[in-house]
Structure 1
Amino acid sequence: MSIYSKILVVADVNNEVQPALARAIQLSQKSACKSHITFFLSIYDFSYEMTSMLSSDERNAMRKGVVQQREAWMKEVAQPYINDSIDFDVKVVWHNRPYEAIISEVFSGSHDILIKSTRKHDVLESVIFTPTDWHLLRKCPCPVLLVKNHDWPENGNIIASVHVGSENPTHQELNDSMVEQLKSLCIRLDAKPYLANCYPVTPANITIELPEFDPATYTDAVRGHHLKSMKALRNKYGIPEEQTRVEQGLPEDIIPYLAKELDAGLVILGTTGRTGLSAVFIGNTAEHVIDKINCDVLALKPKGYISPLDPEQSE
């Protein structure tokens, strides 16, 4: 079971309300051991670096003053959330790239999970993910929980979007990790677990290129393979059949549809952490899904994932 005893929460500098901190408190309430929450903020103001009339010591003093002001503000906004059952501290750093500062803190603090709030666009009813969010999803070594400003529903539902049709050991290990996190979170949050899996639509051009090809037989075979694999996974973890869904279509269409249908409070996704040109041209399935989900999202990396920002890799 995931303990999440060391939680890193990114402060939302634009709001008094801190949904990420509220969710961190929720996760820590049913922990078997006392949790430690670090309330974190990375700040930077280019104007302080360009004030040529000031000496280096004076610029450092100004930066220190700004950091102290932010620390005081964070302690004030955190007051309604914290209690004596949680070890709590505030940390503010001066850094011009927030995602690098956050991931550096994940490594230095050996945090089990990173929690950050995201913004909902009221008109389009969609969630706005900042460049920092995308960098964290791709490069953060620990689980990343992106939360919305809403309360969890009573006896809510959590969906794990598994990839049961693959023989790839990385996907299979990631499935196991997602289901383990799913069961752990459902215990902590009094929620019901669901497993969801998508299988592809048969390409229309195949029947043109291969006239003897029977698309119905092929589709039935693919669906049968996914149903059999889903059965094995749910039996392994004791999840009832009625709490599993196998649907035909793309994950970016099916998962948001199921999240809405089941009124899910959280969707768990696996992300490979793809970076560079492959991310630009191909993108991660998880990222396409996240764009359309209007609930909390927990993104997990595969076992053995090495972040490009891992300090040990640069030595």
Structure 2
Amino acid sequence: MTGNSKNILCILSEAHHFDKIVSHAMQVAQYHEAQLTILLKLDALPPNANMVMQSFAYLETHNSMESSAKAWMDKQVALWSKEYPVTGTVAVGQSSTETIQYIMANEIDLVIKLSDADDQERLCGSDDMELLRKCPCPVWVVPRGDKEQYDTIVAALDLNYHYPTHEVSIRRALNKDILRYAAHVALMESAQLRIVHVFDAVPDNILRGGFISVDENAMENDLNNIYKEREEELERLITEIKAELKAQFKKGTMKKLRRQKHLVHGYPRREIAATATAVGAKAVVMGTVARLGVPGFIMGGTAEETLQQLTCPVIGIKPEGFVSPVTPPDAKAE
């Protein structure tokens, strides 16, 4: 089975606790029949190290560290390649911007990364967030610790199309990409697929503040209309994706998804993560860009707050036409 990804990058931030994430990356690469590169990304020596070391000693230590890391990588690549063909590379002191430029230069179409967060109460560290905001391809962030069985995959969709006309087609395409990715992950993991959409009529914080008066009957009618609108749109979306996937898989494969829909009334910044947690999500596929009609416009408040509340793996998807704010490696700065 050939999936959507052809060139996958797995990023390690240390030469420890890597077995699960590399094994996971190889599983994904095998499913997609993709090329897989393992990048060991190490911090440089502390900025003040050159103040306490002679310049030649500083350079010698840096070069020795890089040489040792490359020797380690060569050994690991030989071991990993017995299971699945991989290539390896080492970067010392590479910034998040330089990592994204590497991704651009090598035409990577999926990044799998072990979380930089130093505790289990949050999923993402600062480098993770930079990639989720600015990396042009999907980013799959996996928390530290043993990989759980991905028995439930959540596709978090924004089915609100009450935006300027030029944005609506982009939003629909992004929802299709999210649902498509989630379906592929669910099939790869033999997991059930939960589709989550959270909608509201008037934001709770405005109502609670008493800034407007609302006719309860009118609001109930509005909510019913919104629910119907979103349900119809979701059914259209599911029908399109089912037709696409049926053409790729054997008959009866789609039944394995055990698909369920969750249309929830509430405040999206709170309820997306809460609903994902309530249905037992082991991974969440979601969009990570704010105003889709603005090239390079990075993460919005809903995505940011949702990520802060999740502790399970997340696959962040960019919309078609997204332009990273990072300057491509072959472009000249103006």
Q: What band does the TM-score fall into relative to the shorter chain?
A: 0.7 to 0.9
Scaled by the length of structure 2, the TM-score of the pair is 0.78
For residues 196 and 177 of structure 1, what CA distance do their matches in structure 2 show? 15
What corresponds to 2:146 in structure 1? 150
Q: d(CA) in 2 for partners of 1:41 and 1:300?
A: 23
How far residue 211 of structure 1 moved from its aligned partner, in angstroms, is 6.1
Q: For residue 164 of structure 1, what is the amino acid of its counterpart?
A: L
Aligned positions of 1:13-162 closer than 5 A: 13=14, 15-31=16-32, 33=33, 35-45=35-45, 46-47=47-48, 49-50=50-51, 53-55=54-56, 59-74=58-73, 82-95=80-93, 97=95, 99-118=96-115, 126-148=121-143, 149-153=145-149, 156-162=151-157
Distance in 1 (CA, whole Å) between partners of 2:280 and 2:29 is 23
The answer for the alignment partner of 2:219 in structure 1 is: 215
Deviations 1:142-171 (A, max 9, x none): 1110002233426x1211111112152221
State the shift of 1:70 in Å: 2.2
Structure 2: how far apart are the matches of 1:107 and 1:142? 9
What is the CA deviation profile of residues 89-135 of structure 1, one whole-angstrom value per residue up to 9, with x for unaligned ones? 222223352x123212211221121111126776xx52152211111
Contact 1:271 1:284 in 2 (8 A): no
1:250 alignment partner in structure 2: 267
Cα separation, 2, equivalents of 1:60 and 1:120 = 29
CA distance in structure 2 between the partners assigned to 1:313 and 1:249 by the alignment:
44
The answer to whether the 8 A contact 1:116-1:147 is kept is: yes
Q: CA RMSD in A?
A: 3.2
Kindly indicate whether residue 280 of structure 2 is the aligned counterpart of residue 263 of structure 1. Answer: yes
CA–CA distance in structure 2, aligned partners of residues 12 and 223 of structure 1: 44
Higher mean alpha-carbon deviation, 3-12 vs 177-186, is at: 3-12
In structure 1, the partner of 2:249 is none
Instruction: Evaluate the alpha carbon distance shift between residue 216 and residue 229 of structure 1 in structure 2; reply closer, same or farther with a 3 A threshold.
Output: same
CA distance in 2, matches of 1:206, 1:232: 37
Q: Percent identity?
A: 19
Letter in 1 for 2:31: K
Show structure 2 runs of 5+ residues with no match: 163-167, 243-253
Amino acid at match of 2:86: F
CA–CA distance in structure 1, aligned partners of residues 324 and 290 of structure 2:
8
Unaligned regions of 5+ residues in structure 1, if any?
A: none
Give the aligned partner of residue 324 of structure 2.
307
Shift of 1:4: 2.5
The answer on whether the counterparts of 1:207 and 1:213 sit within 8 Å (CA) in structure 2 is no
Correspondence for 1:234:
238
Post-superposition offset of 1:309: 1.3
Aligned CA distance change for structure 1 residues 258 and 78 (closer, same or farther; 3 Å) = farther
CA distance in 1, matches of 2:34, 2:233: 38
Secondary structure (helix, strand or coil) at the match of 1:114 reads strand
What are the superposed Cα offsets for residues 249-296 of structure 1, whole Å, 9 maximum, x if unpaired?
A: 123322222322332221001011679xx87xx943212111111211
Partner SS, residue 291 of structure 1: helix
Deviation at 1:36, TM superposition (A): 2.2
Contact 1:159 1:195 in 2 (8 A): yes
1:201-243 Cα deviation digits (max 9, x unpaired) = 4353799456698221122222221122112112222378961
Indicate if the aligned counterparts of 2:273 and 2:306 stay in contact, CA closer than 8 A. Answer: yes
Distance 1:273 1:44, change over 3 A: farther
Mapped to 1, the partners of 2:229 and 2:86 lie a distance apart of: 48
Structure-2 change in CA distance of 1:160 and 1:308 (3 Å): same
